[in-house]
């Protein structure tokens, strides 16, 4: 997939050389957006296994996202970040489209779940077939919800009397929940 002078594709083992740049993009975004920081080890693992998408302008990474499997036949698109200088170019949609292709290949029976405060992510998700979903219905996998601890809003949400929506493990979250049903399944238990 490409748009203007960008190229968005599935990551490959040789993309490990971009892990430091990706980590920097995520750390910067985590300061002001509802995205948790990710370790270099996690980024490297996702790149090596081809469970990530990268957006490049020439040879510079300007966007990234990866798949994370969770209990109950669900996966999420996580760590999605676009360099601020390259936003509004359609890269988010392209990254998510590549991640959907990877998910259909590796996890064909899995629903895709999403947590977001970003209106852009919400709208792209809707256009890709996601529907709004209560947080309690996303997953009961503790590991998924533990990822929220890295969000810059986590302490604020948990320090006052919560007015936010309860999540799947009894905590609270400001994010909107979304779910995209597995493409290859007709029913879910």
* pLDDT tens digits, one per residue of 2-42: 456 999 999 999 999 999 999 999 999 888 776 777 899 99
Superfamily of domain 2-180: Gcn5-related N-acetyltransferase (GNAT) (3.40.630.30)
pLDDT-above-70 percentage for the chain: 82
pLDDT tens per residue, range 56-72: 999 999 999 999 999 87
Provide the token pair at 155: 């302490």
Residue in the structure block whose two tokens are 């879910």: 188
CA distances in angstroms from 11 to 26, 48, 71, 93, listed in the order given: 17, 7, 24, 16
Q: How far apart are CA 94 and CA 166, in angstroms?
A: 31
pLDDT band at 182 (very low <50, low <70, confident <90, very high): very high
Give residue 34's region: left, alpha or beta (phi > 0; psi -120 to 50). beta
126-145 exposure pattern, b = at least 16 Cβ within 10 A, e = fewer: eebebeebebeebbebeebb
pTM score, whole prediction: 0.85
């Amino acid at each position: 997939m490409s748009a203007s002078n960008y190229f968005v594709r599935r990551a490959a083992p040789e993309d490990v050389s971009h892990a430091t740049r990706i980590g920097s993009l995520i750390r910067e975004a985590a300061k002001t957006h509802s995205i948790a920081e990710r370790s270099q080890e996690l980024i490297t693992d996702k790149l090596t296994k081809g469970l990530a998408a990268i957006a490049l302008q020439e040879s510079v990474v300007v966007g990234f996202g990866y798949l994370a499997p969770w209990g109950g036949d669900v996966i999420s698109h996580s760590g999605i970040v676009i360099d601020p200088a390259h936003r509004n170019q359609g890269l988010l949609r392209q990254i998510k489209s590549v991640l959907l292709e990877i998910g259909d290949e590796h996890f064909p029976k899995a629903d895709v779940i999403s947590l977001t405060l970003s209106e852009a992510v919400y709208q792209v998700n809707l256009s890709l077939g996601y529907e709004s979903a209560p947080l309690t219905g996303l997953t009961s996998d503790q590991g998924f919800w533990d990822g929220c601890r890295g969000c810059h809003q986590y302490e604020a949400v948990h320090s006052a009397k919560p007015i936010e929506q309860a999540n799947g493990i009894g905590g609270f979250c400001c994010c909107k929940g979304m779910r995209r049903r597995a493409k290859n399944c007709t029913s879910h238990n």
